[in-house]
């Protein structure tokens, strides 16, 4: 999953802080999305009665569909935001800093 443009290969053997920084940000982004996906689909699909420790058939099917639907929804939102993304000052930008 590559969300950001990748700068051209650096042939040197030293660590380029900016490349590494960008990779870490991408990793954080994926982790954040994944954690929200786990939590969201848990709320949608898992009964809180906890009568047994296994996923039942209905829960398993629901999880599969929930993940697929979340991906599609995420993609649609991403396309929508691409238009406003260039001036992506986000929340902090509004602080008048």
Partner 1 sequence: MDFSAFNAAEQAHMTKVIEKKQMQDFMRMYSSLVERCFTSCCNDFTSKALSSKEEQCMMNCADKFLKHSERVGARFAEQNAEAMNAAAQK
Residues engaged in binding a copy of itself (CB under 8 A): 27, 30-31, 34-35, 38, 91-92, 94-95, 97
40 touching partner 1, by CB under 8 A? yes
Q: Please choose, from the candidates 73, 44, 49, the residue with its C-alpha nearest in 3D space to the C-alpha of residue 61.
A: 44
**Rg for the chain, CA atoms, rounded:** 19
Q: What would the two tokens of residue 31 be?
A: 């982790």
Least spacing, CB of residue 17 vs a copy of itself, in Å:
16
**Binders of partner 1 in range 46-75 (CB under 8 A):** 46, 48, 50-55, 59-75
- Find the angle CA(6)-CA(12)-CA(17) to the nearest 5 degrees: 55
Least spacing, CB of residue 31 vs a copy of itself, in Å:
6
List the single partner that 81 binds among a copy of itself, partner 1, none, CB under 5 to 8 Å by kind: partner 1
- Residues 44 and 18 sit within 8 Å (Cβ to Cβ): no
Q: How far apart are CA 54 and CA 66, in angstroms?
A: 18
Least spacing, CB of residue 34 vs a copy of itself, in Å:
6
């Amino acid at each position: 999953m590559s969300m950001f443009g990748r700068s051209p290969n650096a042939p040197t053997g030293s660590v380029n802080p900016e490349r590494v920084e960008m990779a870490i940000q991408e990793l954080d982004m994926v982790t954040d999305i994944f954690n929200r996906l786990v939590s969201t689909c848990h709320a949608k699909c898992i009964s809180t009665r906890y009568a047994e420790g296994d996923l039942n058939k209905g829960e398993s099917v629901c999880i599969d569909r929930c993940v697929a639907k979340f991906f599609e929804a995420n993609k649609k939102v991403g396309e929508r935001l691409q238009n406003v993304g260039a001036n992506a000052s986000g929340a902090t930008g509004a602080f008048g800093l």
